[in-house]
Amino acid sequence: MNSEMKEAINAIAADKGMKPDVLYAVLADALESAYKKMPEAYEYALVTIDPDTMEYRVIAQELDDEGEPYGEEFEVTPDNFGRIAALAFKQVLVQGIREEEREQKYEEYAGREGDIVTGIIQQSDSRYTLLDLGRVEALLPRAEQVPNERPDSNTRIKAYIVEVRKTAKGPQIVVSRTHPGLIKRLFELEVPEIADGIVEIRSCAREPGHRTKIAVWSNDPNVDPVGACVGASGARVRMIVNELRGEKIDIVPFSEEPEEFVSKALSPAKVKEVRIDMDTGTADVIVPDYQLSLAIGKEGQNARLSARLTGWRIDIKSETQQAEEDAYESVDWAEGEWVVDPETGEQVWQPAEGGPALSAEEWEATSEGDLGEESADDGGEVIPEGDLGEESADDSDKLDDYTEENSDIAEDSPEEDGLKDTNG
């Protein structure tokens, strides 16, 4: 070994991005494997290399019955390794360099889960897409790709590192284009205030390829978080939209007050009132009638993203619907509930104040009875008997006068009598 070997090791270290000390250790392991391939080689032996002179020494020790080294160390450096030992040396050296290179690549990306990388699309099939990150390749599974997004080969895209796996062939890096963390990392790249910690992204809700909502907060009262993310004339957010192939992004201010936060999250819809139920985690939102479809969004997208963003279950109602519900609740209904009788299996009415349960027929009869009493109370005016008798008496007198007049006419008309007799 001479200066040429030293220059070769330094050149390999520079090319692979390794430290020369790592290659010296690999070289020592290769020499040790080569020595053990020689005949009559000691079982326990190690190799030391002087990095300055590139001289190596093979040191051996005797082994006891239990396989433990004992006694003094002695040098057994051979003058010539021979052909078989040289082949073993070459094989172990190449394999050691490859393993160190793989380990170095893994350590480079092992702590970068949640980071963003830029890669060039190499090839794509029905299962995954390969991205060239430079020294390594990343795997973009079909499940982590945005629907209907098919970038061409050799296209440069950004992706979010989800997982780094250590395999026999080197590190396997799994990336994603649908993860919400991609949105946060893209904003960190485009918005210096977020990178400096002045503006924070408190929450993010995303439907990849369609729409994203983020809630931002400013730690400096003099900095507008929404304006910082949008940029001058929308320049900052436009860069992110272009990277996401036209995906819409809504930026809303974060608030500690649930009512205000829910109201802002439903933007661009205008909200009239928000009612929070802390026990059920529900937010009842009341909007003007003409804003109902905008608040819900296409196929419920706006309401769905707002619920994910705020963490509240959002129920959107128009003013007319809320007024009808309030009017319905104001009616004094009979208190009770319909339950199933365990003996008969039929539904019965159980009054809230207690007492025996009523069957459907009994409940209906009771309801009709109450209705009948109300009808009697609300009936027409009752005429006194005395008044009715006087009116009846007057009508009787008129009838008697009419009868007497008709009898006089009958006596003065004998012809009619004769006619009647003839007809008879």
* pLDDT tens track for 295-304: 999 999 999 9
Average pLDDT over the chain, rounded to an integer: 80
CATH (domain of 129): 2.40.50.140
Q: Do both 138 and 218 map to the same domain?
A: no
Amino acid, res. 276: I
Higher pLDDT, 259 or 44: 259
Domain membership flag for residue 72: yes
The answer to whether residue 389 sits within a structural domain is: no
Same domain, 43 and 99: yes
Question: 169 and 85 in one domain?
Answer: no
Number of domains in the chain: 5
Domain identity same for 121 and 156: yes
Residue 59 maps to a domain: yes
In a domain, 244, yes or no: yes
Is there a domain that residue 391 lies in?
Answer: no
SS3 367: helix
Residue 274 has pLDDT above 60, yes or no: yes
Per-residue confidence band for 340, with pLDDT thresholds at 50, 70 and 90: confident
Examine the domain organization and report whether 160 and 193 are in the same domain.
Answer: no
Question: Which tokens go with 140?
Answer: 């973009």
Look at residue 289 and tell me if it is in a domain.
Answer: yes
* pLDDT on residue 412: 44
pLDDT tens figures, 129-149: 899 988 888 999 988 999 888
Do 228 and 325 lie in a common domain? no
Same domain assignment for residues 186 and 274 = no
Same domain? For 26 and 58 the reply is yes
Per-residue confidence (pLDDT) for residue 260, from 0 to 100: 94
Please answer whether residues 230 and 241 qualify as being in contact, where contact means their C-beta atoms are separated by less than 8 angstroms.
Answer: no
What pLDDT does 390 receive? 45
Instruction: Say whether 410 sits in a helix, a strand or coil.
Output: helix
Higher model confidence: residue 345 or residue 391? Answer: 345
Q: What integer pLDDT is reported at residue 197 of this predicted model? A: 92
Q: For residues 277 and 409, which has the higher predicted lDDT (pLDDT)?
A: 277
Q: How many helices (H) and strands (E) does the chain have?
A: 14, 16
* pLDDT of residue 111 exceeding 70: yes
Give the CATH number, domain containing residue 307: 3.30.300.20
- Domain extent at residue 21: 3-109
Mean pLDDT (whole number) for 378-405: 45
Tell me how far apart the alpha carbons of residues 21 and 19 are, in angstroms, rounded to a whole number. Answer: 5
Output phi, psi for 24, to 5 deg. Answer: -60, -40
- Assess contact for 162 and 129: CB atoms under 8 A: no
- CB neighbours of residue 274 within 10 Å: 20
- Give Cα separations from 1 to 9, 31, 32, 74, 114 (angstroms): 11, 12, 15, 21, 46
Question: Is the same domain home to 7 and 104?
Answer: yes
Residue-level pLDDT at 398: 46
- Say if residue 172 is in the same domain as residue 132: yes
- Residue 407, pLDDT > 50, answer no
pLDDT at 2: 60
CB atoms within 10 A of CB 223: 12
Beta strands in 87-210, from DSSP E residues, in sequence order: 116-124, 128-132, 137-141, 156-167, 170-176, 199-207
Confidence of residue 237 (pLDDT cuts 50, 70, 90): very high
Residue 413 lies in a domain: no
Of 361, 378, 413, which residue constitutes the final position of a domain? 361
Residue with tokens 């270290």: 13
Please state, in angstroms and rounded to a whole number, the distance separating the CA atoms of residues 138 and 163: 10
For residues 154 and 125, state if they share a domain. Answer: yes
CATH number at residue 60: 3.30.1480.10
pLDDT tens, residue by residue, 61-70:
888 878 788 8
Q: What is the pLDDT of residues 194-213, one digit of tens each?
A: 999 999 999 999 999 999 99
What pLDDT digit, counting tens, does each position of 10-57 carry? 787 777 777 777 777 888 888 888 878 777 778 888 888 877 777 778
Segment 156-185, tens digit of pLDDT: 999 999 999 888 777 889 999 999 999 999
Q: In whole angstroms, give the CA distance from residue 264 to residue 211.
A: 16
Q: Do residues 149 and 172 both lie within one domain?
A: yes
Residue 357 resides in a domain = yes
